[in-house]
């Protein structure tokens, strides 16, 4: 196995010089180094020498991915191959910024999201990354908790280990980790593809929200998880812990504490989506029609974001716009119905600090992170709220008495029930 030392130099496939700066870590596939190349600091992933990575198809696939480029900017995508040394090789990619933490550390409670808004952004980042990947005609094939780095403050996501990505319909022998593989892949009935990716994606999203695996409950509580038991629990006869018709694998009190507590606080439409994603048909039947696709997950998490607001205790909570009041999921305080901006099918809770995301008022916008407005309190009276225009587009607000006024960038529309706002071609009303 090739091991590099600090200061050692190797060549890129194009003949450029790569200087080894530091060792960053190692895993089952290979080791990662910090390097300098072309005046820029990058990461080098070097594969352990074995038959898989000596396979010409594997190398050519990475080469092809480099030519095609990353599907989205959240991918730490290969940018150049290296020379071969002792039967193995590596590739260069961007370095992970220091504020990004391993997703597995969130699951182990070593790192926590700053708030629910950051958590939702992380889910949306992963969803949109895989939507872009599948729209490009690729499948990831080895989706698991080691594939993501997340900024706990913002929820921004980076997706790594992209050397397993192949065009749809192709497979290089990578099967994945058992706990994240679709049941039909575990049993050998199917090779990984975009449909099995969607099962793995649902597992990751469930773990983000509920901090446990969706198939691990009472049935899987055993002292030693053998390959035979893994085959049974994740492939042959998996059972969702909250299955509507089978309670044989419920979370165990005193063991799955977070999962039991968190399942109750999320809205019913979120729980129903996971119920569908891990239904008996989607698990045992391998029915891809029951797999929730990326666009649906995107809509679900955007709806969840629309109803997220800050309680006076400082924590995020959810407000169902169909109700007149709710209890804060953190402190239990009763919160009475805030103002709500209705934009087509979207209902955005307007509380102090709430953001108006561009995808709400520009249907063609596919950037879930872009913000067009923010709810701010008056300097003289913080209970009086307004919507600040953060765009270069002029807004027009119409008061209940029929008077109208235009608002340019930086100006604030005073909020009140019955106020109508026209965001360019999109109209909305506060109720």
Instruction: Quick: pLDDT tens for 151-206.
Output: 999 999 999 988 888 887 666 555 557 899 889 888 888 888 888 889 999 999 99
Range 316-324 average pLDDT: 94
Residue 392's alpha-carbon distances to 371, 374, 407, 412, in angstroms, are 12, 14, 10, 13
Residue 95 buriedness (CB in 10 A; 0-12 / 13-18 / 19+): middle
Q: 0.85 exceeded by the pTM? A: yes
Interacting residues of 49 by C-beta distance below 8 A, sequence separation 6+: 1, 2, 86, 87, 88
Q: Which of 114, 198, 194 is nearest to 156 (CA)?
A: 114
pLDDT grade for 32, boundaries at 50, 70 and 90: very high
45/94 Cα distance (integer angstroms): 11
CA angle 411, 335, 349 (to 5 degrees): 40
Q: CB count, 10 Å around CB of 67?
A: 7
Q: Greatest CA separation found in the chain?
A: 79
CA angle 154, 155, 160 (to 5 degrees): 130
What pLDDT shows up at residue 28?
74
- Ranges of beta strands (E only) in 28-78 are 30-37, 40-47
Residue 240's alpha-carbon distances to 14, 83, 284, in angstroms, are 50, 46, 11
Terminal-to-terminal C-alpha distance of the chain: 66
> H helices then E strands: how many in the chain?
12, 25
Pick the more confident residue, 53 or 267.
267
Please give the backbone phi and psi of residue 365, each rounded to the nearest 5 degrees, phi first: -75, 130
What pLDDT shows up at residue 192?
80
Q: In this model, does residue 367 exceed pLDDT 60? A: yes
Mean pLDDT of the chain: 91
Q: 3-class SS at 326?
A: strand
Q: How many alpha carbons lie under 13 Å from residue 413 in its C-beta half-sphere?
A: 32
Both tokens of 357, joined, read: 């995301």
Please give the backbone phi and psi of residue 209, each rounded to the nearest 5 degrees, phi first: -80, -40
pLDDT tens readout for residues 219-242: 999 888 888 999 999 999 999 999
Partnered with residue 340 across adjacent β-strands are 349
Whether 367 contacts 326, CB under 8 Å: no
Q: Which of 45, 52, 65 is nearest to 172 (CA)?
A: 52
DSSP code at position 182? -
Q: Which residues of 315-333 are buried (b: 16+ CB within 10 A; e: fewer)?
A: ebbbbebeeeebebbeeee
Interacting residues of 120 by C-beta distance below 8 A, sequence separation 6+: 155, 301, 304, 305, 308
Both tokens of 291, joined, read: 């797999």
Residue 299 buriedness (CB in 10 A; 0-12 / 13-18 / 19+): middle
122/135 Cα distance (integer angstroms): 20
Q: In this model, does residue 287 exceed pLDDT 70? A: no
Both tokens of 115, joined, read: 């708030």
Residue 248's alpha-carbon distances to 203, 219, 221, 251, 274, in angstroms, are 19, 7, 12, 9, 17
What pLDDT shows up at residue 53?
47
67/195 Cα distance (integer angstroms): 25
Q: 3-class SS at 229?
A: helix
Residue 290 buriedness (CB in 10 A; 0-12 / 13-18 / 19+): middle
Q: 3-class SS at 353?
A: coil
Pairing of strands 371-377, 404-407: unpaired
What pLDDT shows up at residue 43?
96
pLDDT tens readout for residues 376-429: 999 899 889 999 999 999 999 999 888 999 999 999 999 999 999 999 999 999
Q: Which of 293, 292, 212, 290 is nearest to 255 (CA)?
A: 212
């Amino acid at each position: 196995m090739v091991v590099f030392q600090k200061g050692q130099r190797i060549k890129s496939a194009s003949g450029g010089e790569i200087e080894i700066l530091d060792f960053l870590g190692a895993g089952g596939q290979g080791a990662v180094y910090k390097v300098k190349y072309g005046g820029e600091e990058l990461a080098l992933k070097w594969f352990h020498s074995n038959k898989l990575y000596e396979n010409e198809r594997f190398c050519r696939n990475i080469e092809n991915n480099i030519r095609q480029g990353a599907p989205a900017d959240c991918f730490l995508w290969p940018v150049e191959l290296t020379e071969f040394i002792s039967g193995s090789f590596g590739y260069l990619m961007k370095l992970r910024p220091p504020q990004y933490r391993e997703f597995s550390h969130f699951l182990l409670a070593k790192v926590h999201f700053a708030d629910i808004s950051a958590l939702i952004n992380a889910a949306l980042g992963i969803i949109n990354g895989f939507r872009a990947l599948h729209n490009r005609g690729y499948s990831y094939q080895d989706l698991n908790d080691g594939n993501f780095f997340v900024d706990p403050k913002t929820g921004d996501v980076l997706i790594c280990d992209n050397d397993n990505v192949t065009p749809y319909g192709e497979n290089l022998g990578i099967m994945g980790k058992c706990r994240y593989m679709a049941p039909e892949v575990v049993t050998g009935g199917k090779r990984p593809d975009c449909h099995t990716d969607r099962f793995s994606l649902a597992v990751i999203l469930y773990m983000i929200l509920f901090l446990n695996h969706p198939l691990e409950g009472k049935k899987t509580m055993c002292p030693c998880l053998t390959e035979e038991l893994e085959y049974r629990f994740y492939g042959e006869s998996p059972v969702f812990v909250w299955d509507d018709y089978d309670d044989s694998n419920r979370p165990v009190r005193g063991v799955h504490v977070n999962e039991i507590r968190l399942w109750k606080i999320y809205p019913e439409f979120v729980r129903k989506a996971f119920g569908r994603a891990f239904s008996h048909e989607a698990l045992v039947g391998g029915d891809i029609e029951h797999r929730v696709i990326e666009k649906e997950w995107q809509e679900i998490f955007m709806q969840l974001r629309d109803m997220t607001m800050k309680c006076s205790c400082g924590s995020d909570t959810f407000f169902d716009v169909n109700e007149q009041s709710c209890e804060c999921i953190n402190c239990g305080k009763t919160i009475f119905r805030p103002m709500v901006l209705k934009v087509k099918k979207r209902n955005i809770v307007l509380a102090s600090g709430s953001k108006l995301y561009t995808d709400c008022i520009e249907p063609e916008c596919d950037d879930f992170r872009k913000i067009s407005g923010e709810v701010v309190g008056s300097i003289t009276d913080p209970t009086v709220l307004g919507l600040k225009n953060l765009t270069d587009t002029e807004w027009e607000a119409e008061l209940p008495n029929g008077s109208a006024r235009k608002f340019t960038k930086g100006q604030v529309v005073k909020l009140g029930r019955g106020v109508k706002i026209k965001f360019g071609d999109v109209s909305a009303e506060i109720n």
